[in-house]
Amino acid sequence: MSISPELFQPYNKQIAEALGLSELRNGSWRVQNTDGHSLVYFWQAAVMPTFRGMSILTVIHTQRLSDSDPVNSGKWKGAFALPNSKLQTLEEIAVASIPHDVLWAELNQVDFTENIVTSSRDGIGYHLATTTNDFSAEFNFSNPESAWLKRVERALLYQLQRIAMTSQSLAAHEYLAMWKEYVER
């Protein structure tokens, strides 16, 4: 399975290459430079502030697929990208190895039944897409008020914080500061 909405598709080739992949798709094909690891799952999130440009976060989990490896072992990498929608290319990309994926745990606690009515003229929206070998899902949310969506937002923010700190990307640090302003309002 793969994620291919129009939102991510123009940039996925560049993101995949930065992450050391020939393409973003799951399966037991060899991932470049990872000693026989396969791509187990990945997710992508578009972060869309009202008055700033969109960014894309991508996290991949690669693992050796053998009987002796525990489930959740393997390697995680994250990428932060600033797309130029007019040129359909990336202006900036930062990649970092990360110790684990905090968003994945939050997605296991999703509560689609919680419904809180909100309205806002300014704020921040998200498009989140995730895929494994046998499941894929996409959803949008903005200005989260429900507890589970706030946890998802915090997990996304935390992933960017780790990518920014590890990669030392100035663009990632600047975007993180701007994003925190939206979240802390």
Domain ranges of the chain: 9-183
Q: What percent of the chain has pLDDT over 90?
A: 39
Say how many CA atoms lie within 13 Å of 120 toward its Cβ: 15
Six token digits for residue 58? 């991508």
pLDDT tens across 6-30, in order?
Answer: 788 889 999 999 998 888 876 655 5
Strands 55-63 vs 38-49: parallel, antiparallel or unpaired: antiparallel
Query: Reduced to 3 states, what is the DSSP secondary structure of residue 71?
Result: coil
* Euclidean distance between CA atoms 128 and 137, whole angstroms: 8
pLDDT tens across 34-79, in order?
Answer: 566 778 889 999 999 988 889 999 999 888 766 466 656 778 899 9
pLDDT tens across 80-123, in order?
Answer: 999 988 888 899 999 999 988 888 888 877 777 777 766 666 78
What does the longest C-alpha to C-alpha distance in the chain come to? 52
Judged against a pLDDT cut of 80, whether residue 1 lies above it is answered with no
Q: Give pTM, 2 decimals.
A: 0.86
* Euclidean distance between CA atoms 185 and 176, whole angstroms: 15
Six token digits for residue 46? 């578009």
Eight-class DSSP state of 180: H
